[in-house]
Amino acid sequence: MAFNPADSSLLISAGRIDQFPSLPVPQAVFSGRSNVGKSSLINTLLGRKSLARVSSSPGKTVTVNFYKVAGKLLFVDLPGYGYARRSVSDKARWSGLTDSFFTKNPSSDLIKIAVQLVDLEVGPTGDDLMMIDYLNRSGIPFAVVASKADKPNKTARAEALGRLRNCGGIPAGTEIIPFSSKTGEGRDELWRLIRESCGI
C-alpha cells in the first residue's frame, strides 16, 4: 500500500517518561523553542490541518507528543523551550522530560533523525545552539529547519540564511532546509530526508 502520511493520529501526549510508547518503529523527533513552528510543521508534513495543536498560548503544555504516521513511523513533538514566562517548576519539567526522552528512553535506539527548528528571521538563540550542540554530541543524525521562511523578503532571507550557516554553532555538512508552513516550501525536501533516515 502507498505511504499515506495523512493517515496519522495522536498516539499519546506523554507528561511522564513511563508514558513513552514502545512501538518498534523508527522515530523522527522535532525540537525547537516555543513558538518556532514545530506543530505547524508537523501538520504541514502530514497534510493535516490541525492534528498537532498550534498554540495560541505558547509554551503552555509540557508534554512529549507522539504521532503515529501511516503505521510506519512516529513523529515526536518535543515541548518547546525558551518560553520566558514559564514557571521555574515548568522549566524543570521541560528539562527532565526532554533529557529523559534522549537518555532514559527505552526506545532511544529508534530515534533515527532529529529535526531542529530555528526561526529564520530571529536566528539561532543561545538555547538553539545548546540544543544543536547536544544533538551533535548525541550522535543522532540531525538537520536544521529554518522556519517561517515566508516571512522575510528576498534580501533579508538570503542574509538570514547566510548568518545561520555561518553562526559557528552548526557543524559543517549539516543540512539547512528553509521551511514554511504557509507556502509548503521545504516540505518535500524534509520528507525525503526523514524517509531516507527512517528507511521508508
116 or 180: CB nearest ligand GTP: 180
- Cβ at position 68, least distance to ligand GTP in Å: 18
What is the smallest separation between the CB atom of 152 and ligand GTP, expressed in angstroms? Answer: 10
Q: Provide the 10 A C-beta neighbour count for residue 165.
A: 14
Q: How far apart are the first and last CA of the chain?
A: 12
The yes or no reply on residue 39 touching Mg ion (CB under 5 A) is yes
Helix (H, G, I), strand (E, B) or coil at 124: coil
- Residue 181 within binding range of Mg ion, rule CB under 5 A: no
From 55, 92, 57, select the one nearest 77 (Cα to Cα): 55
Which partner from the list ligand GTP, Mg ion, none does 25 bind, CB cut-off 5 to 8 Å by kind? none
Cβ 2 to ligand GTP shortest distance, Å: 27
SS3 80: coil
Question: What mask of x and - would describe binding to ligand GTP in positions 150 to 179, judged by CB under 6 A?
Answer: xx----------------------------
Smallest gap from Cβ 24 to ligand GTP, in A, equals 27
What number of other Cβ atoms are within 10 A of residue 136's Cβ?
16
Between the CA of residue 138 and those of 46, 80, 111, what are the distances in Å?
27, 19, 11
Residue with cell 508552513: 181
- Residue ranges that bind ligand GTP, judged by CB under 6 A: 32, 34-40, 54-55, 58-59, 80, 147-148, 150-151, 180-182
